[in-house]
């Protein structure tokens, strides 16, 4: 099949090359573009001729990257779900045939990727989808994408290699670790046939109450974010995976989640250029192929009240013209509330008119596709504008070699979760844990004191307790809800009375009143209380009197295991705060044993 497809494609390319080379715009895609050699001109001519032989429907389809439910291209178990959830077709195969889509995005909750992952199934799904795409009238390979940021947003988990997230990497200050983690994640994605990753996050997190970015950001320092972003961009590209810096023009200073509302960033132009935009400019200067937009309003850049995803001044005026970006502009998911500030059937149209090339994850595939198609047919959107985006899409696919070979050998899954990769994740995790406070040298836990470990189940107090018991500690545990009830707080406090020391695994407690009450109640026992923040590092803002405080920047097993090593003294903490904890601790603060 692989050889047959390659032969067909090669013949098709030769036929297309016989057509005269045309151009539909006198801009960066002109064959006389400065600096273009003969090779670039040949590629340009091939892409333009391919576009000239596409129907309008095929061109519109290339603009869309959608999600579908299913473990296989024709999974019968999800047909009703796909139709009920407005996927526009009963399975992947029918969606490709009907809408000529440019790509798909995998999620855990759609059944594409299991938890734990079945690597053979995902590899076969990717190959099956590409076979279908290359068997169409106009054979064009798919973008097969996912969100593999590391840390709390990681679709490929065990038995794959799970890494601490971005802010944990920021605590190490190491571009080498950023490179190594992205290289391994990129290799494992590629082994599954996934060729596009919506990462890294280039947002600069400066707001302790940020509910959607937080530890997904490397740091509050724009230079550190820039350095680690560029390192990961290059690492993904080296693995033939298209990286996507997000969320432009910067989602780091908000207390509203754009999944559920419309955030407003009130930075002035100077702050925007010196902070928010800096990592994106660094990525552009280093040749990144794709940038994802944010559903955020930035009045200093566009006073219309529209989110960046729908803003022509932000995408065309700033990103294209001022910052010089020539690659793919990708919307964040069009199903998010922050994008839906116009009529539902107009969101995809307005996003495309604003300057996006790829329309990601529309909530109703048929409605979005038909709306864009009708906007072109009516003249609201010119076909030349469509051609420009399709050109960028095909150029990116060609650059990654997808037209040459879409097949991913099943044997490549042997690269996933190797001993070497897992060891590297452990090494990095050990360097991320940050010790912020250690009154009376409570840590490391070198005596035979009994321990009581509690906190929300998201903080994994039971797993931490198990790890410490394996190391010989007398440890009991009790998990609560994310927002502990009054009864749970009372139960935890009662159990704590029998222990010598208390460890609380908090999970964004700085914005959770119930977790704050839990910690305060435990402090009233008079026992030493050590808080380990297993998501955002800002929790100590609301209970600064605790006796000990550490930050892990994530609750993945790899981070909890590193925390246990630090608590026991097997590992000396080296992580440095990548953010300021207002009025308490400065950027870069840390303690060691």
| Residue 247 bears catalytic tag | no
Q: Judge contact between 278 and 223, C-beta under 8 A.
A: yes
Angle CA 497–499–500, to nearest 5:
115
Peptide bond before residue 200 is cis, with ω within 30 degrees of 0: yes
**Active-site residue (options: 332, 357, 539, 547):** 332
Q: Which of 259, 462, 557, 589 is catalytic?
A: 259
Whole-angstrom distance, CA of residue 75 vs CA of residue 95: 13
> Quick check: is 477 catalytic?
no
Structure tokens at 40: 């670039």
What is the rounded distance in angstroms from the CA atom of residue 1 to the CA atom of residue 66?
26
**Hey, what are 75's tokens?**
């999974």
CA torsion sign for 504, 506, 509, 512 is negative
E strand segments, 217-323: 242-248, 290-293
Strand partners, 480: 456
For residues 242 and 177, what is the distance between their CA atoms, to the nearest angstrom?
19
Q: Which of 469, 494, 235 is nearest to 478 (CA)?
A: 494
Could you give the CA distance from residue 521 to residue 289 in angstroms, rounded to a whole number?
51
| Distance between start and end Cα atoms, the chain | 60
Residue 432 and residue 172 in contact, taking contact as beta carbons nearer than 8 Å = yes
Instruction: Please give the C-alpha separations between residue 525 and each of 454, 478, 500, 519, in angstroms, as whole numbers.
Output: 14, 16, 10, 10
Give the residue among 500, 499, 567, 492 at the shortest CA–CA distance from 531.
567
Tell me if 457 sits within 8 A of 481, measured CB to CB: yes
Q: Alpha-carbon distance 451 to 496, whole Å?
A: 8
Half-sphere exposure of 366 (CA within 13 A, CB side): 11
Distance from C-alpha of 248 to C-alpha of 573, rounded to nearest angstrom: 34
At how many degrees (to 10) do helices 119-133 and 92-99 cross? 30
SS3 529: strand
β-bridge mates for residue 529, sequence order: 502
Q: Rounded CA gap, 233 and 236, in Å?
A: 5
Q: Which residue has the tokens 């200067």?
A: 285
3-state secondary structure (DSSP) of residue 68 = coil
Active site residues per annotation: 259, 332
């Amino acid at each position: 099949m692989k050889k047959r497809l390659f032969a067909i494609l090669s013949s098709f390319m030769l036929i297309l090359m016989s057509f005269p080379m045309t151009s539909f715009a006198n801009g960066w895609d002109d064959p006389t573009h400065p600096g273009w050699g003969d090779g670039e001109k040949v590629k340009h001519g091939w892409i333009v001729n391919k576009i000239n032989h596409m129907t309008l429907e095929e061109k519109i389809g290339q603009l869309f990257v959608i999600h579908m439910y299913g473990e296989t291209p024709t999974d019968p178990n999800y047909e009703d779900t796909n139709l009920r959830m407005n996927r526009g077709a009963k399975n992947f195969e029918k969606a490709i045939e009907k809408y000529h889509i440019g790509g798909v995005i995998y999620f855990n909750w759609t059944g594409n990727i299991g938890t734990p992952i079945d690597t053979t199934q995902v590899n076969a799904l990717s190959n099956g989808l590409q076979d279908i795409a290359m068997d169409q009238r106009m054979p064009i390979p798919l973008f097969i994408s996912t969100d593999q940021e590391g840390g709390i947003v990681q679709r490929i988990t065990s038995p794959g290699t799970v890494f601490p997230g971005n802010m944990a990497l920021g605590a190490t200050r190491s571009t080498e670790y950023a490179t190594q983690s992205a290289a391994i994640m990129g290799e494992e994605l590629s082994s599954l046939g996934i060729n596009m990753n919506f990462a890294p996050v280039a947002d600069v997190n400066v707001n302790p109450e940020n509910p959607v970015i937080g530890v997904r950001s490397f740091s509050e320092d724009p230079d550190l974010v820039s350095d680690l972003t560029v390192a990961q961009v290059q690492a993904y590209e080296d693995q033939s995976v298209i990286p996507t810096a997000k969320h432009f023009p910067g989602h780091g200073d908000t207390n509203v989640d754009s999944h559920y509302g419309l955030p407003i960033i009130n930075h002035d132009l100077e702050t925007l250029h010196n902070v928010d935009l800096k990592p994106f400019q660094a990525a552009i200067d280093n040749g990144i192929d794709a940038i994802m937009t944010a559903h955020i309003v930035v009045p200093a850049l566009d006073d219309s009240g529209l989110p960046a995803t729908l803003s022509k001044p932000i995408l065309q005026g700033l990103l294209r013209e001022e910052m010089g970006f020539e690659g793919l502009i990708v919307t964040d998911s069009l199903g998010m509330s922050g994008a839906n500030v116009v009529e539902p059937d107009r969101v995809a149209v307005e996003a495309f008119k604003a300057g996006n090339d790829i329309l990601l994850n529309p909530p109703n595939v048929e409605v979005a596709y038909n709306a864009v198609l009708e906007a072109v047919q009516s003249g609201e959107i010119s076909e030349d504008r469509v051609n420009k985006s399709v050109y960028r899409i095909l150029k990116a696919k060609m650059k990654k070699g997808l037209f040459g070979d879409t097949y991913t050998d099943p044997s490549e899954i042997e690269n996933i979760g190797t001993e070497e990769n897992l060891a590297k994740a452990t090494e990095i995790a050990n360097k991320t844990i940050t010790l912020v406070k250690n009154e009376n040298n409570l840590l490391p836990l070198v005596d035979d004191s009994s321990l009581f470990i509690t906190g929300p189940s998201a903080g994994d107090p039971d797993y931490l307790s198990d790890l410490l018991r394996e190391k010989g500690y007398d440890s009991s545990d009790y998990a609560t809800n994310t927002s502990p009830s009054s009864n749970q707080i009372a139960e935890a406090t009662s159990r704590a009375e029998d222990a010598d020391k208390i460890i609380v695994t908090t999970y964004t407690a700085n914005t959770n009143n119930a977790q704050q009450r839990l910690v305060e109640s435990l402090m009233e026992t008079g026992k030493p209380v050590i808080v380990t923040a297993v998501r955002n590092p800002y929790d100590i803002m609301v209970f600064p009197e605790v006796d000990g405080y550490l930050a892990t920047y994530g609750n993945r097993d790899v981070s909890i295991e590193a925390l246990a090593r630090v608590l026991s003294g097997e590992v000396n903490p080296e992580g440095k705060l990548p953010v300021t904890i207002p009025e308490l601790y400065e950027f870069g603060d840390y303690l060691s044993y």
